Amino acid sequence: MTITVGDKLPDATLVQMGGEGPEPVELSSKTDGRKVVIFAVPGAFTPTCHSAHVPSFIRTKDQFAEKGVDEIICVSVNDPFVMGNWGEATGASDAGITMLGDPEAKFTKAIGMDFSAPPAGLIDRSKRYAMLVEDGKVSVLNLEDSPGTCEVSAGEGLLADM
């Protein structure tokens, strides 16, 4: 079942690159008692994700902060090494966006946001979405109709719905 507005996020352990290598991150430690944006992409370094989705949140980061957002998190079904390098390549890490990998797609599947597109080599990946999460509950959810589209899930699209 796909997560909807009003639902609490499931317990999940994602992974990020730390100073000593991969580090587990309990999603609840990022969301409990906080206001965060989580946006997800089908794949690091893929065209729309790289040239449109991540840059939209870099551009709008300050506007989210003005609305009380504590943190912006990017999730992708990729390993933490790829996510760390992608954060550096896009400037997302320098902008303060948290890059988290969901390497086994456990979180993505738990919220019903998984899809596969074998011709593109994308198996068990995340649909493109953006959500506002307040104290662990989804308060706004913007899901794209197509993984190649980045409109309602872009930073500007989510801001317009807050």
User: Is 49 designated active site?
Assistant: yes
Show the tokens assigned to 73. Answer: 């998190």
Calculate ∠ Cα 45-106-50, nearest 5°: 15
Average the pLDDT over 122-150 and give the result: 93
Task: Decide which of 116 and 15 is more confident.
Answer: 15
Q: What is the per-residue pLDDT for 146?
A: 85
Q: Is the pLDDT of residue 131 over 80?
A: yes
**pLDDT tens per residue across span 19-43:** 999 999 999 999 999 999 999 999 8
Q: Token match 């965060």: residue?
A: 36
Catalytic residue among 3, 17, 38, 49: 49
Segments making up each domain of the chain, as ranges: 13-160
Confirm if 23 and 15 have CB atoms less than 8 A apart. Answer: yes
Residue 36's pLDDT is 98
Residues 63 and 99: their CA atoms lie apart, in Å, by 19
Decide if domain 13-160 falls under CATH 3.40.30.10.
yes
pLDDT-derived band at 58, boundaries 50, 70, 90? very high
Are the beta carbons of 153 and 143 closer than 8 angstroms?
yes
